[in-house]
Each structure stands twice: as C-alpha cells, then as structure tokens.
Amino acid sequence: MNGVLLTQFIQTELNGIYLFLKRNKDEAIVISSATLFLSLNRYHPIWNEWFSALLYYAVLPVLTIVVCLRRNPLDFGLKRGDFKVWGYYAAIVCLIAAPILFATSFTPAFQKYYSIEHFSLINYSLVNCASLFASEFFFRGFLLFGLKEKLKEGSIFIQMIPFVLVHLGKPELETVSTILTGILFGYIAYRGKSVWPAFIIHLFINIFFVMSVNLL
C-alpha cells in the first residue's frame, strides 16, 4: 500500500512539475538561457571581451529567440519604440549624468580602474559601441522583453539583478550605483518599448566617463 501511495505521489508531483514548466515555458527558457550565457561568458571568454560580449550577449540570445521561443528578435526591444517618450528620457538623463560623471572621474578608485595607456577616443568608442549594444540587448532586450508579457513591470527588477552582478569587481561606487541605473535603464526601455534609449544613455555614460578620466 505504501508503495502504491508513493507511486501516486511521484506521478502527481512529476505531472505538477511538467504543468509548471509548460505554463512558464518561455520564462524558463529566457531565465535559464540568460543564466547559462552569463556563466559561459565568465568561465569561457572567447578571444577578447568585445567578441565574447557579441557572442554571449547578442548572437546566442538571438538564436534562442528564433529557435527556442520561435519569435521575432525585433520584438525584443530592437524596434524604434515610442521615440516621443524615450527621446526625452535619454536627453534628460544624459544632461543630469554629465556633471556627476565628471566629478566622480577624479576619484582615485576610478582613476586607477579606468586609466588607459595610449588612450584613443575613436578606437575606444568603436569597440565599446558594439559590446555595449550587445550588453543592452541582453539585459534590456532579451531579459526585459522576454519576461514582460507575464511579469509586466516586475521584469524591470529581474533584469537589474544580473546587471548589477556583472559589475562585481569594478569600483564599489559603480557597482552599487548599477542598482539604480539598472532599474532606470529597464524602466526607460519598458516605457519606451525599445532597448535603444538604454543603449544611447549607457554609451554616453561610458564614453564620457572614460574620456574624463583619460583626457581631462
């Protein structure tokens, strides 16, 4: 009798697990694959940081969208979205961020971490433009838009968590500040229905800050 009850219990639970995964199939695919890609990028970087970012943050997520989710990658924030909304956000955030970035660029921790020998603004901008776009697509595109259908605004907070974690090892102030910027970037992308404003703001912050450290 105990064996029969145990068998029934196992069957019931296995069926429950199956139904749970079926109900949350897309979310399971997005979160699991995103976690896998982050781990692979950490333990198995390919060639250099730029190429690894493109592979793990853009190419593999796009393949996941097409093959596993059977959806159009453009629906993951790559469209123009609502420019009338996000255009104002991008302009205002960049204007507010500029003096803050300039002031913090003189702190010893940031000077030590971001000083680049033989710094070339053009070369740095070109290389980081591609890697930052891949990063923004991963967090504010693949994760945010992959989860927003079911989690709604909660997807903004979900994508913020790994965004903060990938900054571990950088200056403490920067890592802590990504809690706020991760939520802000996510909200703007969510509100503007596009990853582009987050990319523009992130690119401006990165290039302006590194330029302040190395050229000013």
Range of the domain at 210: 71-215
Instruction: Give pLDDT, residue 207.
Output: 97
117: helix, strand or coil = coil
Instruction: Give pLDDT, residue 1.
Output: 56
∠ CA 143-147-149, nearest 5°, is 145
- Confirm whether 111 is domain-assigned: yes
Instruction: Give pLDDT, residue 3.
Output: 82
- Confirm whether 185 is domain-assigned: yes
Residue count of the chain: 216
**Are 50 and 125 contacting, i.e. CB atoms less than 8 angstroms apart?**
no
Tally of domains within the chain: 1
- Confirm whether 14 is domain-assigned: no
- Confirm whether 2 is domain-assigned: no
**Are 179 and 113 contacting, i.e. CB atoms less than 8 angstroms apart?**
no
Q: What residues does 168 pair with on adjacent strands?
A: 170
Amino acid at 176: V
- What is the mean pLDDT of each successive set of 10 residues along the chain, which is 216 residues long? 86 96 97 98 91 97 99 98 98 98 97 94 92 98 98 98 97 98 99 99 98 93
Which helix (H) or strand (E) is 122 found in, with range?
helix 121-136
